[in-house]
Amino acid sequence: MDWSDNDYLDELQRKEKTAILREYRKLLKSLMYEITEDDTEEIRKGFEVALEAHRGVRRKSGELYIFHPLAVARIAKEDIGVDVIGIVCALLHDVVEDSNMTIQDMEDLFGKKVATIIDGLTKISEIFDQNTNLQAENFKKLILTLSQDVRVILIKLADRLHNMRTLGSMREDKSRKIASETMFLYAPLAHRLGLYHIKSEMEDLSLKYLEPTIFNEIKEKLQKSKAVRTRFLNQFSLPIERGLKKAGLKYEIVGRTKSIYSIFQKMRKQNIPFEEVYDILAVRIVIDSNPDNEKADIWKTYSIVTDFYRPNPDRLRDWISTPKANGYESLHITVMSPSGKWVEVQIRSDRMNDISENGYAAHWKYKGQEEEHVVDQWITKIRESIENQETHSEDFLNDFRLNLFEKEIIVFSPRGDAITLPASSTPIDFAYEIHSDVGNTCIGAKVNNKLVPLSESLSTGDQIEVITTRKGHPSEDWLKFVKTAKAKSKIKAFLKSKKKKLSGLGQTILKKDLRELGIKPVKENMYKVAYFYNLPNLEELFYQVKSNRLNLKKLEKLKVEKGLIRNNFSKKKNTIVTNIGGKAEFNNPGESESAVEYKLAHCCNPIPGEKVFGFIGETNEIEIHRVTCPNAVEIQSHKHFRVIEAKWTNQQALAFMSGIAITGIDSKGMVNEITMKISQNLNINMRAIHFESLDGYFEGKISAYVTDIDHLNDLIEEIRKVNGVHKVIREDVLS
């Protein structure tokens, strides 16, 4: 078809028409040698339907919407490697949601497979819907769809990546929410599917909007040090190249720079500056070897590298003998370079590198292998853990994320069967991995023939024997230490069956109380009451009523018309102004209560002047968190319906507690000089101070009262000026 004859294209400005056709041809060019005429026709039809469905629609940036599905299709093909059906679905992924076309229309035009994938993609857009019960159901359906066709999530990852690349046109609060969702769920999911480059880009882009200052600082420092890293790589690789050539191995050596987010994580976890992150550069050696010889060639390469550089035996990671749960295979070693710096060296074959770069999609090339791919096994486990179970949104999302664990251990049954579990798993997790009945009847466990507590953390190589009895049953305490989603869901299911009896009585009590208040005891009202008390589901509401844990008199505040509750909780969005030292006031005119109680969150200790947000907790009390709070990503992703805007006022200057950690070289009078600067020079009151010194090195922690973020920054800068002080960072306050 000649696209110049298309009516809609004729309506567009020449530049936009040319740009659309250019992007479409780029997509076809990436497929040029892989598809038939029928495939081309199917893609053309998908493009034509998408073009018409999004006719005249523009994105926030002002760009025509059709550019988005075209970009998603290219990412799905070029970065993930989906097939023709996947590309057609990528072009159509928003059509049902944004037009009058239905899933049945999709099936009539493109067949059952495409319709199933589009159905999954349409449902996933509702995962973070404000209605928590709907959220759980759609997410459950999505994962069940994923287990039928993994292309659902592959296309959604491409969609989310493009949205992240174009996030700059969004309002700050909206961009923070989307970035939080991406960090909370989509990046770990990309990791689990082995799509490391997509995972890294998602994490970097999320950091760009969640922590823009630190993101730009790291980016700038990486750019400035690029030439130094290139010179180092060339010098480091030279002797290895000679050894590989001598051994007759075909190879490629490349440098891999750590992602901005990975550097940020290391800086935060270890409380170190950028300059002290030693493994910013990793060296990757890719061996051109056939599958029969690849392991031998990789270990031969290991021998050559360690002939020139001394390895750190504690940093050997062998994912060749035992691949990761997402199919990742590679040998990682850390060696000492001539410059006195540790360097990570990754050794893998071409095939392993392909799977590392393209994850699950690359596995399609190797489908001839008899062994089921580990990601297929993982998806089967996910399906088993959620089918026929009533799991609600917050628990469901948290449990699902447990299946995206990054660090793993391998343990053994008494028969020697190897089982992969998340790091820090317990004998209870192992028991449920064997069988649900084994977990439900577990009363004890032996690890390496030694009786241990059920909360014992397991390590790679442990052999576990589970002790069971028919009288055994799960305990609520187990939920405090189990790690796997399967164990959590089975324990909750058992406890839920016990709670159900009490819930039935609670429902009867609640119905009676609602009638007395003139409220009809219908489901719509019940859900609103559950939301009012910040409870996850109706069963929990009934249980709380039966247990006398709720003050039902508070229901008198609800607006009731003709027996129906009229409060629209899901759309309520308030801005609160936190009067320092007082109560929080709602900005909304007409709000029935002019002031509400709030508290400053202990997890991040916000200080006036910092960007903050409000979070309505389970007891309906508002907590004020920093936007950079460690819990902000989780709160602003799947708990966003409880988030309200918050800002400071400066009516009075009060003191707020803040913690400071200090390290340096110990010298006589050091502590005295630091305390003098704090208490006299800056006139700051200290609540607690603790210093420890050992062999010329000291660590100190101070809790002090400051009035705002500028006051805290001035204090940190003054302490840094003390001779011998190496590092000063903000930290949690001393208890």
Token pair listed for 62: 């002002």
Backbone angles phi and psi of 648, in degrees to 5 = -85, 150
- Spell out the residues 6+ positions from residue 165 whose beta carbon is closer than 8 angstroms to its own: 205
Report how far residue 10's alpha carbon sits from residue 440's, in angstroms, rounded to the nearest whole number.
Answer: 67
Mapped onto helix, strand or coil, the DSSP state of residue 468 is strand
Q: What is the DSSP string of 265-324?
A: HHHHHHT--GGG-TTSEEEEEEE---TTTHHHHHHHHHHHHHHHS-B-GGG-EETTTS--
Q: Where are the beta strands (DSSP E) in 342-384?
A: 342-349
In angstroms, rounded to a whole number, what is the distance separating the alpha carbons of residues 3 and 19? Answer: 13
Residues linked to residue 285 through DSSP beta bridges, in sequence order: 253, 347
Closest CA to 330 of 353, 362, 311, 360: 353
d(CA 285, CA 298): 9
* Helical axes 37-53 vs 103-110, angle rounded to 10°: 150
| DSSP three-state, residue 584 | strand
Catalytic residue numbers, as ranges: 97-98
Cβ atoms of 710 and 644 closer than 8 Å: no
The Cα–Cα gap between 499 and 501 comes to 6
Residue 242 DSSP label: H
Token reading at 183: 């960090």
Taking a C-beta distance cutoff of 8 angstroms, is the pair 722, 670 a contact?
yes
Residue that is written with structure tokens 């209870």 in the block: 428
Q: Are 557 and 551 in contact (CB under 8 A)?
A: no
Where are the extended beta strands (E) located within 448-573?
450-452, 464-468, 560-561, 564-565
3-state secondary structure 485-524: HHHHHHHHHHHHHHHHHHHHHHHHHHHHHHHHCCCCCCHH
Residues 47 and 9: beta-carbon distance below 8 Å: no
Q: What does the radius of gyration of the chain's CA atoms come to, in whole angstroms?
A: 29
